Amino acid sequence: MPDPAPPLTHAQDQFLQVLSRDDAEAAFLAALNPAPLGPEDLSLDHLPGRVLAADISAAVDAPPFDRAVVDGFAVRSADLFEASGAEPVHLRLNAETIACGTAPRLAVAPGTATPIATGGPIPRGADAVVMIEHTDPEGDGIAVARAVAPGAHVSFAGSDIARGQTLLRKGAVIGAREVAMLAAVGLDQATVWRRPRVAVLSTGDELIAPGQPLRPAGVYDSNGPVIAAALRENGCEAVHLGAVPDDPQALAKAVRAAFSGHDGLILSGGTSKGAGDLTVQVIEGLGAPGIVAHGVALKPGKPLCLAVCDGKPVAVLPGFPTSAMFTFHELVAPALRTMAGLPPRGAARVSATVPVRLTSELGRTEFAMVALTEGPDGLVAHPVAKGSGAVTAFAQADGFLTVPALAESLAPGTEAEVTLFGADVAPPRLAIVGSHCVGLDAVVARLVDAGLAARILATGSQGGLAALRRRECDIAPIHLLHPESGAYNRPFLSEGMRLIPGWRRMQGLLFRPGDPRFEGRGLDAALAAALADPEAIMVGRNQGSGTRVLLDRLLQGARPPGYWNQPASHNAVAASVAQGRADWGMAIRPVAEAMGLGFLPVADEHYDFAVPGTPRDPEALAAFEAALRNSGDALSRLGFDPG
């Protein structure tokens, strides 16, 4: 096999030429010149989700004849002109009943009526239908006590769809409505654009397919499935090929195989300057003109690589899942939509206030995912502060806002345009902003079961209280120790706030079972042993967290090795100790138990809920309190003390 890989320095040179977002897009579109791939005919059953390649006009009328839209009697409206309750008009019945699907034989002569069912064709002579409810049987016919207008209860031929009328336009995406229209005019198939078949390949030695057990240093391949799903959302057929290791031979082989036989190729990972960055070199060998942009002034997303090889789009998305998604939607999806025959995505936008300063890097178009809540003056867009490696940011966020390349930051209170991820995104009825606890998920699950939309935004206790003071949320979960009084939470409430008692969770020291510095000792002895051993590495906690306050109190000014390693969650502390990067740290008991770690209790911490004295939505808050009361067993099972 020939080796197509140019020297590594080549890819690095390319990366130095960082293009602006607009220049990268222009270069990609100019080289690709995207257009629909060609038409194909599909039967009704296979049409949903597909894009019409030509206008469709009706060859017949719908309905095909004048028909009754109620059960009753076909009449001549002139006969009933003077009918009234005082002087009902008598009509003789004709000797036939027009059911749905029967063609009338007899005309309706003056002074007569013909029984007719809904959907039945209107007989000659008749111009209206009286509802059966408005008649009474009488002798050889009926008595009608009210007048009817000409055309009453009749749907005329072609009144729904007229022969020759354009029914559906090219570019329409076919759903149930469109299938109904096609079928109503007798069409059993339609011409749609062929769907681009796009191959998806993840790259990285560390990647493990979802469903397989995780091994040390392994990471689940989330990009592959996410990109495949996003391709399908944008009119493409995704061919998900799994992950390939960072091995030049294997990579070159897999990329070439993925490229041939498909209309495009989306890779992820291996675009930045690192040991595994071979992908970009392999792309160069696929066909002319090759790479048109490598390095785009986006944040996140700088390592994006766009190429066109033999007329087909090839993109290497950054490895970090959120970077991969932003760059896909921003620069790759629009071209693929054109190839699929779809119009540009009609991005739903709303205007919202940014409550905190959003810093940004000058010179790069920056994306920030935000979650919406209702504030006192309209929508508030809370940045979902997570690194570019975070997948859950997508789940929490309602959309994103873009900080222009020339802005250094957005000041608190700035009005910004938020691009919504979906058209039907609405702020949750109950916004819970503050400290997160797994116990809270159990309570909120009950609310969701009861049909109440709630959203938890993990900003930490202080962030939650600030949002509550600004009236941008309904509930702020907090666990703050007041060092002077030793009391939890209540000392931190502002005027007009009330505290709903939550539960207690035991904080303590985590260690690996069998570690002689901790195992079998009491808290004081264990702590003394750990602090006396220069080899004992701890893991700290982030500033502003309740656990940090507790930890600092326990350490009384000591700064053991590892103190400045400060992750922001209990789980990160436990993972660090379990995997041997650190020997001890502080977290809550359920997390220690879930990871099989030893635990020395330190303090019972109170996790409570600050709420406004006058809630924005009393009914929703009452539902939350009820859910909380009913969650006692679930909380106990999770290792919390509902008190």
Query: Are 14 and 291 within 8 A, CB to CB?
Result: yes
Q: How far is the CB of 582 from ligand AMP (least distance, A)?
A: 20
Check residue 303 for interaction with Mg ion (CB under 5 A): no
Sole window of 180-188, 216-224, 568-576, 627-635 interacting with ligand AMP (rule: CB under 6 A): 216-224
Size of interface with ligand AMP, in residues (CB under 6 A): 21
Sole window of 278-286, 300-308, 317-325, 408-416 interacting with Mg ion (rule: CB under 5 A): 317-325
Which of Mg ion, ligand AMP, none sits in contact with 233, Cβ below 5 to 8 A by type? none
Q: How far apart are CA 208 and CA 261, in angstroms?
A: 25
Amino acid, res. 577: V
Q: How far is the CB of 8 from Mg ion (least distance, A)?
A: 15
Which of Mg ion, ligand AMP, none sits in contact with 320, Cβ below 5 to 8 A by type? ligand AMP
Which of Mg ion, ligand AMP, none sits in contact with 271, Cβ below 5 to 8 A by type? ligand AMP
Residue with tokens 């080796």: 3
Contact mark string toward Mg ion, 171..210, x via CB under 5 A: ---------------------------------x------
Q: Is 610 helix (H, G, I), strand (E, B) or coil?
A: strand
Check residue 318 for interaction with ligand AMP (CB under 6 A): yes
- Residue 449: burial class (beta carbons within 10 Å; 0-12, 13-18, 19+): exposed
Residue ranges in 173-222 assigned as alpha helix (H): 176-184
Phi-psi bin for 358: left (phi > 0), alpha (psi -120 to 50), beta? beta
Q: In the window 174-203, what residues touch ligand AMP (CB under 6 A)?
A: 202
Q: In the window 258-287, what residues touch ligand AMP (CB under 6 A)?
A: 268-272, 274, 276
Segment (H or E) for 434: strand 430-434
Q: How far is the CB of 178 from Mg ion (least distance, A)?
A: 43
Check residue 321 for interaction with Mg ion (CB under 5 A): no
Give the nearest residue (CB) to ligand AMP.
319
SS3 content of the chain, % helix, strand, coil (to 5): 25, 30, 45
Q: How far apart are CA 575 and CA 587, in angstroms?
A: 11
Which of Mg ion, ligand AMP, none sits in contact with 222, Cβ below 5 to 8 A by type? ligand AMP
Residue ranges in 247-381 assigned as alpha helix (H): 248-259, 279-284, 321-327, 333-340
Q: How far is the CB of 270 from Mg ion (least distance, A)?
A: 5
Cis-peptide, bond into residue 318, ω within 30° of zero: no
Determine how β-strand 305-309 pairs with β-strand 237-244. unpaired
Sole window of 43-51, 315-323, 544-552, 629-637 interacting with ligand AMP (rule: CB under 6 A): 315-323
CB-based contacts of 373, cutoff 8 Å, min separation 6? 379, 380, 382, 427, 428, 431, 433, 455, 457, 467, 472, 473
Give the residue with the Cβ less far from ligand AMP, 119 or 218. 218
Half-sphere exposure of 74 (CA within 13 A, CB side): 31
Which of ligand AMP, Mg ion, none sits in contact with 477, Cβ below 5 to 8 A by type? none
Check residue 225 for interaction with ligand AMP (CB under 6 A): no
CB-based contacts of 287, cutoff 8 Å, min separation 6? 309, 310, 312
Contact mark string toward ligand AMP, 364..403, x via CB under 6 A: -------------------------x--------------
List the one residue from 270, 303, 567, 598 that touches Mg ion (CB under 5 A).
270
Sole window of 19-27, 275-283, 322-330, 612-620 interacting with Mg ion (rule: CB under 5 A): 275-283
Longest CA–CA separation in the chain, Å: 112
Q: How far apart are CA 187 and CA 56, in angstroms?
A: 10
Check residue 617 for interaction with ligand AMP (CB under 6 A): no
Assigned token pair, 35: 């257009």
Report DSSP state, residue 138: E
Report DSSP state, residue 329: I
List the one residue from 73, 259, 320, 624 that touches ligand AMP (CB under 6 A).
320
List the one residue from 276, 460, 477, 546 that touches Mg ion (CB under 5 A).
276
Q: How far apart are CA 46 and CA 192, in angstroms?
A: 10
Assigned token pair, 402: 């873009």
List the one residue from 63, 123, 141, 319 that touches ligand AMP (CB under 6 A).
319
List the one residue from 221, 284, 366, 472 that touches ligand AMP (CB under 6 A).
221
Q: How far apart are CA 577 and CA 579, in angstroms?
A: 5
Sole window of 316-324, 340-348, 352-360, 588-596 interacting with ligand AMP (rule: CB under 6 A): 316-324
Check residue 612 for interaction with Mg ion (CB under 5 A): no
Give the residue with the Cβ less far from ligand AMP, 319 or 355. 319
Check residue 204 for interaction with ligand AMP (CB under 6 A): yes
Q: How far is the CB of 272 from Mg ion (least distance, A)?
A: 8
Give the residue with the Cβ less far from ligand AMP, 319 or 434. 319
Half-sphere exposure of 140 (CA within 13 A, CB side): 6
Q: How far is the CB of 321 from ligand AMP (least distance, A)?
A: 5
Report DSSP state, residue 553: H
Check residue 463 for interaction with Mg ion (CB under 5 A): no
Q: How far is the CB of 2 from ligand AMP (least distance, A)?
A: 25
Q: How far apart are CA 602 and CA 588, in angstroms?
A: 10
CB-based contacts of 206, cutoff 8 Å, min separation 6? 217, 218, 219
Q: Given the rule CB under 6 A, which residues bind ligand AMP?
A: 202, 204, 206-207, 219, 221-224, 268-272, 274, 276, 318-321, 389
Q: Given the rule CB under 5 A, which residues bind Mg ion?
A: 204, 269-270, 276, 319
